[in-house]
Amino acid sequence: MELEVRHLRALCAIADAGSLHKAARQLGVSQPSLTTQLRRIENSLGAELFARERSGCRPTPVGRAVLSRARPLLAEMSALVAEAKSAAARASGPRLRIGSTASRALPGWLGRLRRRLPGTDISLHVDVSPNSLLKMVAAGQLDVAFVHEVEGCPLVLPEGLCVRVLVEREPQFVSMARHHPAADAAVVELADLADDRWIVDPSVDGEWEGVRRVLFAAGIDPPLLHGDYHTAAALIAVGEAVAPCQPTSDPRGDMAIRPLRGDPLAVRLLLCSRAGAQEVADGAYLDLAEAYREVAAGAVAYRQWLRRHGSPLLAVPAA
């Protein structure tokens, strides 16, 4: 078997994620498929590249040597593709490539961008991993990226990126079944959720670590479940779990969203771009700020929280 770019990309994803499970989620493949691919790569090279441990995967000495050569090759390939696409875009007309983690502000942001930039080809790439989006911006695959940074779990910012802070500290609320006893309160105490299972998505950078840190600080050690958004929603609705969520989330009829006392969980919202693209990023930032203000004002629980805290989001246009 000859090594291909996709094989190198898989090796780097496993090393960066620290586990086959997380890497498979980021690559959009199944874990068994990625495990088989890794085994074939190792057989082709005649060496074990990762040591499988209970906590994940760790590169072996041979693996580190392979990775040290693979990373610059992937960077060069990404640059080649980005430059070719950029040249094609200049020939065919203006375009704007935006990336984002999940947010209810996305529809409003896209609408504002299209109205402000008529005739521009605007594309959207959504990823659960902020770090993956930042790498794409640095590689020239995206022009701007709207990402969140979990408090206490800083993102890895590649060199050459400009960062604009949209919200310095957005509180994370908790989603629970409508019939949950704590749903009767306007503000929920962490202690009232001590007996609940918490479900988090381990492929979201920092989410698992952030939740575990906050619960540990509160002296709570509940069972933690791993699952994606759709699995979480199904379990929450029937009372099998609770989960952190964005305050702008729109709850289903069988779910309730409430703030936590003291707002122990929070994220920072950022818009990142490459140096030299300030004009594009400035316009995108203003459109994003307006879209975020709109969904913040429209989310009942978040609007009440903003009023209690005297937030300028409800009173002053974003600048």
The 10s digit of each residue's pLDDT in 259-311 is 999 999 999 999 999 877 788 889 999 999 999 999 999 998 999 999 988 88
pLDDT for the residue numbered 315: 61
Predicted pLDDT at 86: 67
Instruction: Please name the helix (run of DSSP H) or strand (run of DSSP E) that holds residue 8, with its range, or none.
Output: helix 5-17
- Single-letter amino acid, residue 318: A
Closest CA to 173 of 234, 236, 129: 236
Q: Helix crossing, 31-45 with 5-17: angle to 10°?
A: 110
Confidence category of residue 159, pLDDT binned at 50, 70, 90:
confident
Terminal alpha carbon distance of the chain: 55
pLDDT exceeds cutoff 70 at 92? no
Global model pTM greater than 0.75:
no
Q: What pLDDT does residue 318 have?
A: 41
Query: What's the full length of the chain, in residues?
Result: 319
Check residue 314 and give its pLDDT. 72
pLDDT given for residue 290 in this prediction:
95
Q: In Å, how far are 9, 52, 234 from 30, measured between CA atoms?
A: 15, 18, 21
Mean pLDDT to the nearest integer, 145-170 = 93
In this prediction, what percent of the chain has a pLDDT beyond 90?
60
Give residue 75's pLDDT band: very low, low, confident or very high (50, 70, 90): confident
DSSP reduced 3-state for 239? coil
Alpha-carbon distance of 159 to 180, in angstroms, equals 46
Cβ neighbourhood burial of 99 (10 Å; 0-12, 13-18, 19+): buried
